[in-house]
Amino acid sequence: MVNNSTYSLILFLALCFIVQCSSNNADAALNVQSNSTVKLFIKPSLTDENIITADVDHLVMYDTLQRNPQLLLFLPGTNGIPQKGPIKLFETAIQMGYKVINLSYINTPSVASVCRDQNLLEDSECTTKFRTQRVFGDQLISFIPDQSYDAIINRFTHLLQYLKENDKNGEWEQFIENDRPKWNIISLAGQSQGGGMSAFIAKKIEVKRVITFSGGWDYAGVDKIANWYYSDSITPANRWYGVYHSKEPKAKTIEKTYKAMNIPKEHIFALNREIRKGKKAHGEGIRNTKYKDLWITLLTD
């Protein structure tokens, strides 16, 4: 017969065993989830043989345990290399149930370096034509080498089609309709030139959300921001978000463009944390992990 003290000891040991097992199982689950992240590097030329320029790998990341995930298309800035991140931002998005594509596209020369001085003086719509050519492939100016097949939309479309055929576990078909991206369930984000490209796309195509991080400073003339900022947007205003750091050299101009695009005041975030040692304010929004809570806010419906 078991006395009360012995029974209490047995019960205590049993509870400790259960807690320990639960802890071990939780650790195992976390390890499985961590190990379930897929990272793919895909050359644009594998998806479209016409592509020769800027044939740097696209970066694709997602968690195989996520079901019916969302998709975040990210466009890097000038000289941006997709596989270099911003990885912490992407990991946050994946934890929230997103698949992430960091797209490789022709990101040099930049808009700001081409549509200036004489080029801008001769054509106040230079930046609009530049972005139209780089995004949609229309051949409008001769200052950049971009061909129709080099366009951001073409590269993204062919990448989705490639993933649908070659990465069956990714269930990419949910983001494709009639062989085209199903834009209304796709979120867009980008940094600097890429932020401007994301905004330019969202003006023309309805997307689920658009986040522009320090998204460029296009001009139509001296101290006059580009006309396209004021154009009507197909993507509703409440799906727009703008981020920049208050200490960026072009902070005031970026703020002016965000207001011109009718981004709601509560969706504009002027960052002001101390800049990381050796870094520039321009990249803080996408790389400083102290803004993780903001990233979650930006990516949450």
At 22, the amino acid letter reads: S
Residue pLDDT tens, the chain, 301 long = 444 444 333 333 333 333 333 333 333 222 233 478 999 999 999 999 999 999 999 999 999 998 778 999 999 999 999 999 999 999 999 999 999 999 999 999 999 999 999 999 999 999 999 999 999 999 999 999 999 999 999 999 999 999 999 999 899 999 999 999 999 999 999 999 999 999 999 999 999 999 999 998 999 999 999 999 999 999 999 999 999 999 999 999 999 999 999 999 999 999 999 999 999 999 999 999 999 999 999 999 8
Other C-beta atoms within 10 Å of 137: how many?
A: 18
Please indicate, yes or no, if residue 15 is contained in any of the structural domains: no
pLDDT at 126: 97
| CATH at residue 93 | 3.40.50.1820
Please indicate, yes or no, if residue 6 is contained in any of the structural domains: no
Please indicate, yes or no, if residue 156 is contained in any of the structural domains: yes
Domain that holds residue 93: 41-299
Please indicate, yes or no, if residue 221 is contained in any of the structural domains: yes
At 289, the amino acid letter reads: T
For 189-244, the three-class secondary structure string (H helix, E strand, C coil) is: EEECHHHHHHHHHHHHCCCCEEEEECCCCCEEECCEECHHHHCCCCCCHHHEEEEE
Please indicate, yes or no, if residue 160 is contained in any of the structural domains: yes
Q: Is the Cβ–Cβ distance between 167 and 40 less than 8 Å? A: yes
The Cα–Cα gap between 55 and 135 comes to 16
At 216, the amino acid letter reads: G
Q: How many domains, the chain?
A: 1
User: Tokens standing for 149?
Assistant: 């097949």
Q: What is the pTM of this model?
A: 0.88
pLDDT at 100: 98
Please indicate, yes or no, if residue 240 is contained in any of the structural domains: yes
Please indicate, yes or no, if residue 63 is contained in any of the structural domains: yes
For the chain, the three-class secondary structure string (H helix, E strand, C coil) is: CCCHHHHHHHHHHHHHHHHHHHHHHHHHHHHHHHHCEEEEEECHHHHCCCCCCCCCCEEEEEECCCCCCEEEEEECCCCCCHHHCCHHHHHHHHHCCEEEEECCCCCCCCHHHHCCHHHHHHCCCHHHHHHHHHHHCCCCCCCCCCCHHHCHHHHHHHHHHHHHHHCHHHCHHHHEECCEECHHHEEEEEECHHHHHHHHHHHHCCCCEEEEECCCCCEEECCEECHHHHCCCCCCHHHEEEEEECCCCCHHHHHHHHHHCCCCHHHEEEECCCCCCCCCHHHHHHHCHHHHHHHHHHHCC
Please indicate, yes or no, if residue 294 is contained in any of the structural domains: yes
